Amino acid sequence: MTAMHRDMTAATGNGHPHPAAGERILITGGAGFIGSNVAHRLLTGGQQVLILDNLSRPGVEQNLAWLRDLHGKRLEVAIADVRDRDAVRQAVEGAHTVFHFAAQVAVTTSLADPQEDFSVNAQGTLNVLEAARAQAVPPRMLFTSTNKVYGALGDIELQRLGNRYQPRNSGVRERGIDESQPLDFHSPYGCSKGAADQYVIDYARAFSLSSVVFRMSCIYGPRQFGTEDQGWVAHFIIRAMKNQPITLYGDGMQVRDILFVDDLVDAMLLAVKEAPRLAGRAFNIGGGPSNVISLRDLLDRLEAMLGRQPEFTLEDWRTGDQRYYVSDFRRFREMTGWTPKISPAEGIERLHHWLQQQHETTASAAGVRPAPRPAAGLPQPSPLA
């Protein structure tokens, strides 16, 4: 692949940015769900942002068009792949901060093509690290890892409670899983992201880079075009809105701590602001015990929101699926003061509203009358425990 192709376009913005206005920020994978939300926050705050993205994920071109329309000249775009060392080197040069989000994100894809998965996640991350190390003043760096680095968590004994699993150990139940949990990479995806995770930590130790790792739970919110393999909250909502069946792998009682993307962006901006102090550390980032939900819980919420029960089928468990994962984010809270603010009830409603707007816009552009929204006054789901 040749060096990156840059595309310049027009912008305005105001606010209180992190870091100081005028310093260029690189976001690899910046057209994706999380990347576009981070870019929007920074651009609105007056930052100059360069997005490096190969636009391989369906839907991301819509995120890029949205950013261009809103922010124009503050946004610079490089259509390139993180496996292209020359493109990465050019993108990193002169950057104050690097948000490294570009990745192959699906366990199923990693099982089908482990070499592709490794080349994107492990080699791509090493390319970014080497480009950063080569700078006279290396940029601060935040890398998004995954809870999959902890494996299937078979050492955590579970019990069923209603529509969800919960740990028998009261400490884990009350606090979640912290960073002392042993690493146990499962699936090629877990291995490639885990290798990248460890490289980012070690480059802080070996080369004094201000690099930080977020081991993330389930993130959801606007600009997410969820699929069966990644972004399950959005995927469930999209399927339910279209009256299409939803597949539950396993029994549907799997539990995650979901985190709304606005809360994640807050955490990320704090992390890069404090990167010299946080360098070489990994943090578990998610909604925590107060924001837990199971797959079946979400189906119940969708029934209350849409006025009909979503159709679903059950399939066998998938490789590397965790029956329970909830983040203990106390380490990051203690070091930065961060805590999530948006509840699952509010966040799911906000995501549904955004997806409904996207559906209506698409239908209008195609000349199709959108389906009517459910009548007001439908019963609302009870708060999550």
Residue 307's CB: how many other CB atoms inside 10 A?
13
Dihedral pair phi/psi, residue 351, rounded to 5°: -65, -45
Closest CA to 191 of 126, 128, 118: 118
Is 189 an annotated catalytic residue?
Answer: yes
Rounded CA-CA distance 135/242 in Å is 49
Taken as a whole, the chain contains a residue count of 385
Running DSSP on this structure, what letter comes out for residue 327?
A: B
Rounded CA-CA distance 200/133 in Å is 11
Running DSSP on this structure, what letter comes out for residue 135?
A: S
Whether the ω angle into residue 188 lies within 30 degrees of 0, i.e. cis, is: no
Q: Which listed residue (150, 189, 203, 324) is catalytic?
A: 189
Running DSSP on this structure, what letter comes out for residue 177?
A: B
- Token representation of residue 268: 């990320």
Closest CA to 152 of 188, 186, 196: 186
- Which residues are tagged catalytic? 189
